């Protein structure tokens, strides 16, 4: 198993009281599986992801990542992280941002691997630009490349395309699918877009708040490789409608 | 245009000054014309150049000591709230103490050489450098920090790859404040101890009622200040090309 979360709760103090962000969350991700977590803003998706990454400690419950603790997965350099605001190092150019991952993890053959990734995500010709000179979509490509550079077993993505315009989002979803077909890591992908979740994932986990908990799971048996035209197909629309129904806790009559 | 207009305005001001002194026949010991000031500078260039060199040495030496000290202590403070609370009060006390009160002490302790002048320049610039360094080292992008932590980067790697570069815009802001201060510190120390440099030159010219030389000193110091500030700005532009203020974002 890539991820096994059992009875996870997370509370943090606000003023005099405690806010419960997560309550009794269960989640499993198989090796090589692409799992999308969908939920409204504030339902604890990001808290869940940060806990899996070992950036937050659970108040109670169990989190196992790649068979051990989050910390051991981190120490094994098995995690890659992509966030909505990617936090690229603005003083390093694109190539150096990707290269930094390899410098930190101490990989062999860094130059070749960095170049390979720049090409894979289609940013090789922008290698000498700094992040401030790139569009939002380009920045997310860099973020993806640097998160994959050290060949992590688990890729954690927190609304990576949430701040992009609609066209860039569509482009980046397909780009992610294409890259993922080649790298094939396990993925936990947090999003508030139902269509995005269904297009990308093998399985969609529906979260509701508050406190955040998992309310449903939907298998997405759509064939891979998936293409943009998939969004026109009937099975896709039905799955989207089903997830939407589960998210709003009542069926919706119309598709999109 | 960016150079032409300011230069034109300065030239106009000087011309107006010159004409006014000549038209009203102002006494030289009250207000010398710019031409008289230039004549003094041209007559004894060595005297001004040597004094300027000594003052500059003290100012830059002080700035370097203050920056290094601020970096070392700032690093400790950025990592520990206890250290931050322990170091701020004495640093603040050092800042609010008028340097005029310290110069005689430093002269007694260190004599009339370079040392006391450098230390005064360091003392007056230390606090702004320290405050900016601490804020800068703390001002890391939390998303970049998360990314590096998820990679299991060591504290040292995070410090070197993230904290230090993140602090640079703040360190340069501190330098822009500190460069003129360091000159003031050096000159005040020289003036009070009468030891060397522009401060000593001013002290002597004052005793001689040599107003053109006093103005010459003002011109030279203003020039030094501008050159030092411009140098920092140039270095800043080279190393902060990535920052919002440079990219125009």
CA dihedral of residues B20, B26, B32, B34 (deg, nearest 10):
20
Residue A210 near residue A43 (C-beta atoms within 8 A): yes
Residues 6+ apart with CB under 8 A from A27: A3, A4, A5, A8, A35, A37, A48, A205, A214
Q: What is the pLDDT of residues B174-226, one digit of tens each?
A: 999 999 999 999 999 999 988 899 999 999 999 999 999 999 999 999 999 99
**Number of structural domains, chain A?**
2
* Residues forming beta bridges with residue A189, ordered by sequence position: A36, A157
Domain boundary among A118, A151, A184: A151
Out of A50, A90, A104, closest to residue B151 by CB: A104
Domain borders along chain B are 48-241
Q: How many CA atoms lie within 13 A of B94 on its CB side?
A: 17
A86 contacts in chain B (CB < 8 Å):
143, 147
Q: Are residues A119 and A142 in the same domain?
A: yes
Task: Note the helical H segments in B97-196.
Answer: 99-110, 114-138, 142-150, 155-158, 164-193
Q: What is the pTM of this model?
A: 0.86
Q: What is the pLDDT of residues A141-157, one digit of tens each?
A: 999 999 999 999 999 99
Q: What is the pLDDT of residues B36-73, one digit of tens each?
A: 999 999 999 999 999 999 999 999 999 999 999 999 99
Rounded to two decimals, the ipTM of the complex is 0.92
Q: Are residues A184 and A127 in the same domain?
A: no
Q: Are residues A124 and A231 in the same domain?
A: no
* pLDDT higher than threshold 90 for residue A245: yes
Q: Which two tokens stand for residue B89?
A: 């009060």
pLDDT at B245: 66
Interchain contact, A79 vs B151, CB within 8 Å: yes
Kindly state which CATH superfamily the domain B48-241 is placed in.
MetI-like (1.10.3720.10)
Interchain contact, B143 vs A54, CB within 8 Å: no
How does strand A79-83 pair with strand A154-158? parallel
Domain limits for position A143: 86-151
Q: Which two tokens stand for residue A167?
A: 């066209």
**Which of A89, A99, A139 best tests the B interface by mutation, with the highest count of B CBs <10 A?**
A89
Residue A5 φ/ψ, nearest 5 degrees: -110, 125
Q: CA separation (Å) from A119 to A161, A180, A222, B29?
A: 20, 14, 28, 74
Q: Are residues A251 and A144 in the same domain?
A: no
Q: Are residues A64 and A189 in the same domain?
A: yes
Average pLDDT rounded to a whole number, residues A51-57: 94
pLDDT at B1: 67
* pLDDT higher than threshold 50 for residue A250: no
Q: What is the pLDDT of residues B68-126, one digit of tens each?
A: 999 999 999 998 999 999 999 999 998 888 989 999 999 899 988 899 999 999 999 99
pLDDT at A102: 95
B141 contacts in chain A (CB < 8 Å):
87
Q: Are residues A182 and A98 in the same domain?
A: no
- Give the Cβ contact number of residue A45 at 10 Å: 25
Res. B3 pLDDT band, cuts 50 70 90: confident
Residue A176 near residue A144 (C-beta atoms within 8 A): yes
CA dist A75 and A71 (Å) reads: 6
pLDDT at A251: 39
Q: What is the pLDDT of residues B118-153, one digit of tens each?
A: 999 999 999 999 999 999 999 999 999 999 999 999
Q: Are residues A137 and A239 in the same domain?
A: no
Of A28, A31, A35, A32, the closest CA to residue A64 belongs to A28
């Amino acid at each position: 198993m890539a991820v096994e979360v059992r009875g996870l709760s997370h509370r943090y103090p606000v003023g005099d009281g405690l806010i419960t962000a997560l309550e009794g969350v269960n989640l499993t991700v198989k090796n090589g599986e692409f799992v999308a977590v969908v939920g409204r803003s504030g339902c604890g998706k990001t808290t869940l992801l940060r806990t899996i990454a070992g950036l937050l400690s659970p108040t109670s419950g169990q989190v196992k990542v790649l068979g051990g603790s989050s910390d051991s997965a981190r120490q094994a350099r098995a995690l890659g992280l992509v966030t909505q605001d990617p936090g690229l190092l603005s003083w390093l150019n694109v190539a150096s941002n990707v290269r930094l991952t390899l410098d930190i993890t101490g990989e062999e053959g860094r130059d070749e691997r960095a170049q390979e990734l720049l090409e894979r995500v289609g940013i090789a010709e922008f290698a000498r630009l700094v992040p401030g000179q790139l569009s939002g979509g380009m920045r997310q490509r860099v973020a993806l490349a640097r998160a994959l550079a050290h060949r992590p077993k688990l890729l954690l993505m927190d609304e990576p395309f949430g701040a992009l315009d609609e066209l860039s989002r569509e482009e980046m979803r397909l780009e992610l699918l294409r890259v993922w077909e080649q790298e094939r890591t396990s993925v936990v992908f947090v999003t508030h877009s139902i269509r995005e979740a269904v297009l990308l994932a093998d399985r969609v986990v529906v979260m509701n708040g508050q406190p955040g908990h998992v309310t449903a799971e939907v298998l997405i048996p759509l064939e891979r490789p998936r293409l943009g035209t998939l969004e026109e197909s009937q099975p896709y629309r039905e799955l989207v409608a089903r997830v939407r129904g589960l998210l709003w806790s009542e069926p919706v009559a119309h598709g999109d | 245009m960016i150079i032409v207009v300011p230069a034109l305005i300065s030239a106009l001001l000087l011309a107006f000054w010159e004409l006014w002194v000549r038209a009203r026949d102002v006494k030289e010991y009250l207000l010398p014309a710019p031409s008289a000031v230039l004549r003094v500078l041209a007559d004894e260039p060595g005297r001004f150049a040597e004094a300027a060199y000594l003052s500059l040495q003290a100012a830059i030496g002080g700035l370097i000591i203050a920056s290094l000290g601020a970096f070392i202590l700032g690093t400790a403070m950025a990592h520990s709230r206890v250290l931050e609370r322990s170091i701020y009060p004495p640093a603040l006390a050092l800042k609010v103490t008028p340097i005029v009160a310290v110069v005689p002490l430093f002269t007694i302790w260190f004599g009339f050489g370079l040392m006391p002048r450098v230390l005064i320049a360091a003392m007056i610039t230390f606090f702004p450098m320290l405050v900016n360094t601490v804020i800068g080292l703390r001002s890391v992008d939390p998303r970049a920090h998360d990314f590096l932590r998820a990679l299991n980067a060591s504290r040292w790697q995070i410090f070197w790859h993230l904290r230090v570069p993140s602090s640079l815009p703040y360190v340069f802001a501190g330098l822009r404040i500190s460069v003129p201060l360091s000159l003031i510190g050096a000159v005040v120390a020289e003036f009070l101890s009468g030891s060397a440099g522009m401060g000593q030159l001013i002290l002597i010219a004052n005793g001689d009622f040599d107003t053109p030389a006093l103005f010459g000193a003002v011109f030279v110091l203003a020039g030094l200040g501008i050159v030092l500030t411009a140098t920092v700005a140039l270095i800043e532009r080279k190393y902060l090309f990535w920052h919002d203020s440079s990219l125009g974002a």
